[in-house]
Structures are given as structure tokens and as C-alpha cells.
Amino acid sequence: MPGALPRRILCLMPSRASFAILAALLLSLPFILYSGGFGLRGLTADLSGETRFFTTPLPNVLIFGHMVAGALVTLLAPVQLLPVTRRRDPRVHRVLGYVTLSAAALTGVFGLLYIALKGTIGGPLMSAGFALYGALLLLAAANTAYHALDKDRARHRAWALRLTVLALGSFLYRLHYWVWYAATGGAGSTEAFTGPFDLFNFTGFYLPYLVLLELWLRQERT
């Protein structure tokens, strides 16, 4: 049929959602590579002269394991949303899902335990904001898994989207600082993370994005 080939080509072309996901992956790739590589180095080498994070064995395992698992979930959570991943081979989607959820669980648990043991450089407010982030990451991972097993596709999708927003959080935290310093030279930010911008960013790297997602999901349902 004359129009069959163009229609087939259009069907194979990535959707706007796919382009957005791929763009997010490309933007976050340098962070993923750096965080994963730095975490692996911290687990396998002596970085005592290079970073304040390298201290004693248990905190080292927690913080550098957190970095490796966080890099993995930042990479895989968006990949799981790509239509090609979900539709072409459901088994691959399922296996990657188990890996993604395991990485999210490790990221959250390791981060929370590290905060409990060592705190954060920004003090109690930073610790509270980061601990809430870790708790929400665990909540999203658990619900994504639960609704997948329950075969509730709508709820599984909604929680997977929440998980992806949270998975990108560590990258967004750093992106905020990059954009802010480029635009203002670092106004409202201090080395001790006690400036107004620092205080905002304790939760600003994930809560506003979750709110926007919830508004979009609500609009989608109506």
C-alpha cells in the first residue's frame, strides 16, 4: 500500500516522551559516570588524601556504595520508561526492573544509614532534607514493585514516574548549583551550605519536581 511505509516509519520514530527521556539521560550521563566511578574507587582504593568522605570502613561502604547504587538507578530508571524497553521485550523490562529497584533500595538504605552515622556537612536541616529524600526513594521503589506484582499498570506507572524523578534527584541537585553559580556567581551559597540557596536546595532538588509530577498525573486522570 502506498502509505504503509511512511506510517511504519512514523511508528518507529521516538515519541516526544522518548526524546525527553533520552535528553535527560544524556544530560545526566557525566554525573552517572563520575558518581559510579568515584564510588567504585572509594570502595577499592585509599582516597583519604582526596575526599573528606573517606573515613572508616563502615561509613566508607555506606557512602561509596550509595554513590555506585545511585549512579545505577539514575541510569536505569529513565531507561525503564522508554517504550522500546517496555514493549519490545517484557522480560528485559522485568529484569532491569529488579536491578533498578534493588539499586534504589541500596541507595536509600545506605544514604539513610550514613546520615545516621555521620550526618551531613550542612547540619540538621540538610540531614533532614536528605533523609526525607532517601525515605521517599524507598517508598517509591517499594510501591513500584508492589503494583508491578499486583499487575496494576496504572499505579505501577505512576510510582515508576515518581521513582524516576527521585532517581534523577542527585543529578538535579548538582545541576541546580551549576546553573545557580553560572547565573549568580554563587550568591546565597556558602562553603558550609548555610546560605539561602543552600537551604532551598536541601529539598528543592526533588520536592518541586514531585509536586509538578503530581499535578500532571492529576490532570491526566481528568
- Residue 150 confidence (pLDDT) above 70: yes
Could you report the per-residue pLDDT of 83-135, keeping only the tens digit for each?
A: 888 888 889 999 999 999 999 999 999 999 999 999 999 999 999 999 999 99
Could you report the per-residue pLDDT of 13-24, keeping only the tens digit for each?
A: 457 888 899 999
Q: What's the Cα-to-Cα distance from 188 to each of 179, 181, 209, rounded to whole Å?
A: 13, 10, 22
Could you report the per-residue pLDDT of 208-222, keeping only the tens digit for each?
A: 999 999 999 999 888
Please state, rounded to an integer, the average pLDDT across all residues of the chain. Answer: 93
pTM over 0.85? The answer is yes
